[in-house]
Amino acid sequence: MIKLALSALISLMFASAAITVQAADAGSAPNKKLVLKKRHAVRVAAADASDRMVKRVIKVKGKRKVVYQRVLAAAPAVPTMGDLAGLNSTHDPLSLASNVALVLDQANSEVLFEKNSNVALPIASITKMMTGLIVVEAKQDMDEILTVTDEDVDREKFSSSRLKVGTQMTRANMLHIALMSSENRAASALGRNYPGGRPAFVEAMNAKARELGMSDTHYVDSNGLSKMNVASARDLAKLAMAAYQQPMLRQFSTDPKATVELSNGRPMQFGTTNHLVASPDWAIGLQKTGFINEAGRCLMMQAVIEGRSVIMVFLDSKGKQSRTADAGRMRKWLEALRPANLVGGGSSTGAYSTGM
């Protein structure tokens, strides 16, 4: 099924190539051509794509021209591993877009809401939180200059990066942008510059997972680009609580933006992948987002809601803003569940559990 979906997606990418049409304005030269680039293409649902061209009137140098644009059928969604496991058939009272969700009280680990929380799924860049925990606990020199090499280039997902091969910055800055901006080459460089190299780093990640009781977790890289990095929501809650004990991980993961200086003195601006950290309506102490096709949109977060510190995990969410929208729905549910004047730990009422 995945192969068929990917084949269809590739075919549509070739269909989006630029086209050339004859200009139809009476005042234009008879042989003058107008090139329409693919960024101007009109995208419609596949069911409406029988008419392959759409007529439009545009202005070129102040003159009206009639042009015809190719209609692009919407690409079929690539099923996630959660979809293939049938998790999308699980319903919940909040109509979450995430196939997996877990919320627990940070003070006593009481589960307040769960949905398929024991299912191990790809976790994408949430992997980088374990990467950060290994780096910090290893007490490596945070001022050491690391260099991005060809080994850090993503040849699995071919993701983009602002860090060119040869870029140099401190280990602290590499960790900062790996957590805040989910910079893949930075996370790769962190793993590669561990004693024993990347294999030893990955082994340290898996050893730490075992130490934390993350029995459904397995890592194969330090950046999360592989679908073989898997964990359950319950495991990620354990990781979040362990990572929260490290002030550097809290700070780096929740900075809305930062200016990072390269070793040559040139500054680079980076921003967060989670817009909620900049919102005055949220009090977030730790967070990490993630996305690859097999994992969907993912979010792990510590936040204070109605005086209660909670850990939230959302995996396999559909839609670019869906994971943060799910966090918003969960927050409203918790606010209604817990009286505003009840602060700290203690039993809750109305906790919800469903799924495999």
Q: Tell me which residues are annotated as active site.
A: 125, 128, 182
The burial class, CB within 10 Å (0-12 / 13-18 / 19+), for 299 is buried
Q: What is the DSSP string of 299-341?
A: EEEEEEETTEEEEEEEEEE-STTHHHHHHHHHHHHHHHHS-TT
Q: Where are the beta strands (DSSP E) in the chain?
A: 19-22, 33-36, 42-44, 53-60, 63-73, 98-105, 111-115, 121-122, 145-147, 168-170, 230-231, 257-261, 267-271, 284-292, 296-305, 308-317, 352-354
3-state secondary structure of 115: strand
Angle between helices 197-211 and 184-192 (to 10 degrees): 100
Structure tokens at 243: 């990572």
Q: Which helix (H) or strand (E) holds 188?
A: helix 184-192
